[in-house]
Amino acid sequence: MAKTRRTFTREFKVQAVKLVTEQNDSYAEAPRQLGINENQIRKWKLQFDGVGDQAFAGQGNRGVLEAEVHRLRAENKRLLQERDIPKKKDGILCQGVDLKHEFIHRQRFCFPVWLLCQVLHVSPSGYYDWVQRQPSVTRQRREVLGQAIRGIHGDVKKRYGSPRMHAELQPRGYLCPANHT
């Protein structure tokens, strides 16, 4: 059975701190009298010493100014992240949707996906559809051709340029564009 967390009113906390400060009870004696942990009363005293009458305001009862500060900090954090997204790098905004999705996929560990999508003006659902989509026939063909080129390039000790590479690929049965020189 799970233990329920005890909560204490502001008045109880103030009285506990006053037992230690005004009545000179020890940090061991006051908690025993009140049935609380010694570390808890030390924490309350630190809070009371730091803020005074404003201490123990409560968790959910933020003042208007505190709520505004919280909102502004969250907005500032979002804006800093948005600023740090290198959205103009490599002309990504001028490219097609697939390149934007690739950029989001590469940056998804650095920034939230929803923020990347918002900055690049693509929908998150479109991005997630793109992630699950099977590669097209053309993309598969390019991958196979790229692997073949890398293999040949390594075999010839990285000495072949495009004309010789093209001549090497043709007899092996790879379809590649004609060599225009």
| Whether residue 98 is found in the same domain as residue 148 | no
Say what the pTM is: 0.45
Does residue 64 form part of some domain?
no
Mean pLDDT of 58-71: 73
Residues 104/124, Cβ–Cβ less than 8 Å: no
Residues 174/145, Cβ–Cβ less than 8 Å: yes
Q: What pLDDT is stored for residue 159 in this prediction?
A: 81
Does residue 66 form part of some domain?
no
Give yes or no for residue 165 having a pLDDT over 80.
yes
Does residue 147 form part of some domain?
yes
Mean pLDDT computed over every residue of the chain: 80
**Total domains in the fold of the chain:** 3
Does residue 171 form part of some domain?
yes
Give yes or no for residue 90 having a pLDDT over 70.
no
| Whether residue 108 is found in the same domain as residue 127 | yes
Q: Burial level of 127, CB count in 10 A (0-12/13-18/19+)?
A: buried
| Whether residue 24 is found in the same domain as residue 75 | no
Does residue 28 form part of some domain?
yes
State the sign of the Cα–Cα–Cα–Cα dihedral 85, 90, 94, 95.
negative
Q: Which domain holds residue 20?
A: 10-54
Percentage of residues in the chain with pLDDT exceeding 70?
85
Does residue 30 form part of some domain?
yes
| Whether residue 126 is found in the same domain as residue 147 | no
Angle between helix 113-120 and 64-84 (nearest 10): 70
Q: What is the pLDDT of residues 97-152, one digit of tens each?
A: 888 898 899 988 988 999 889 888 899 999 999 999 888 888 888 888 888 888 88
Does residue 62 form part of some domain?
no
In the chain, DSSP finds a helix count (H) and a strand count (E) of 9, 0
| Whether residue 115 is found in the same domain as residue 160 | no
Mean pLDDT of 57-67: 67
| Whether residue 127 is found in the same domain as residue 166 | no
Percentage of residues in the chain with pLDDT exceeding 90?
9
Does residue 59 form part of some domain?
no
| Whether residue 79 is found in the same domain as residue 119 | yes
| Whether residue 167 is found in the same domain as residue 116 | no
Token match 């590649």: residue? 176
| Whether residue 49 is found in the same domain as residue 76 | no
| Whether residue 145 is found in the same domain as residue 127 | no
Residue 63: left if φ>0, alpha if ψ -120 to 50, beta else—which one? beta
